[in-house]
Amino acid sequence: MSTVVGVEARGGQHCETTALGVLLRHQGVDLSEPMLFGLGSGLSFVYWDARNMGFPFLGGRVRPFELTRNLAARLGLDLRVQETASPRRGWENAAAAIDAGRPVGLQLDSRHLDYFTPQTRFGGHIVAMYGYDDHRAYLVDTRQQGGAVTTGLAGLARARAARGPMTARHRSFTLTVPPDAPAPADRIVPAITACARAFLDPPIANLGHRGIDKAGRLVRTWLERGGDPRQDLPRAALLMESAGTGGALFRNLYRDFLGECARLLDSPRLRAGHELYAEAAAGWTEAAALIARAGETGEACHLDRAGSLLARLARTERAAMHELSGLDGGAPGAGRA
């Protein structure tokens, strides 16, 4: 058996920030989960639909592992990433970090993990591993999934070998904090402005504030979508509120990040952005409830209300990001329409 000493197995709300918290605390850097999410410029929006999808997907964060890369670059961390097509080499990479006394992050497909409920496919899931024996791996996952958990090595191997949307090739990673790393508080403004400007100027209409507005138009048609609306709509609502998002499609996490920043920095723009994201977070929870209600009742009026609410949320978030994009004194993006 090999186990890293001194790991604090604290489960958070979101998988990637939970894993990052484990790795950074072991390096002596203890940041709140909202701060990790915000410093990694984690907030986004995508309306994702395709012919091979049974039902549209609403995403509220950047792509899996982009948050990790953003955070490492912003805080000057040494991020070592290893990927391989070989299951044997992939395990050796992960085990070597444990044997050297360091927890390691793993990207994998959650459906193959013994403890994970519900057993749904998600190739962008990230956990921290801090030990293993001949039969099981010792992991830290979200609080919802149990925090400190174990899974069989065979299932872990299948999870890491899975292929499909958002999967990686046996990806493992470690973080090292150099002596001259900048103070996290000094990197708040660049993190916020980068996130805001990406949100305000998305390359396609499915992303950012444009994506939310598009979702507001298309959500009204969801009862007519093929499949089983009684299952599909409540499931979509559940993913928005409870699937590791921290509630309100990650808007609760970003609201709390901005609130924490507002206590550190005296900025009217920051306070305005925080107030608007508090409004947006409440709106997303209401939208999820309306979508679930439409599936339960089969009544289109709930989707009409959700569509109108999403259109308003697009304007609210656009106004918030307009304020936040100007924190560094640069030209802010487009404001409320």
pLDDT at 331: 63
Q: Does one domain contain both 128 and 6?
A: yes
Domain of 289 in residue numbering reads as 184-329
Residues 6 or more apart whose Cβ sits within 8 Å of residue 256: 32, 34
Q: Does one domain contain both 270 and 317?
A: yes
Residues 6 or more apart whose Cβ sits within 8 Å of residue 182: 75, 76
pLDDT exceeds 50 at position 336: no
Q: Which of 214-223, 290-299, 300-309, 323-332 is predicted least confidently?
A: 323-332
pLDDT at 50: 80
23-65, pLDDT tens digit by residue? 999 999 999 999 999 999 999 999 999 877 789 999 999 999 9
pLDDT at 333: 62
For tokens 């390691």, what's the residue?
A: 104
For tokens 């928005």, what's the residue?
A: 240
Give the CA angle between residues 295, 300, 306 to the nearest 5°.
80
Structure tokens at 16: 């990637």
If one counts the domains in the chain, the total is: 2
pLDDT exceeds 50 at position 213: yes
pLDDT exceeds 60 at position 337: no
Q: Does one domain contain both 85 and 213?
A: no
Establish if 205 belongs to a structural domain.
yes
249-292, pLDDT tens digit by residue? 999 999 999 999 999 999 999 999 999 999 999 999 999 999 99
Q: Does one domain contain both 20 and 148?
A: yes
Among 176, 195, 224, the domain boundary falls at 176
**Taking the model in full, what pTM does it have?**
0.95
Mean pLDDT score across all residues of the chain? 95
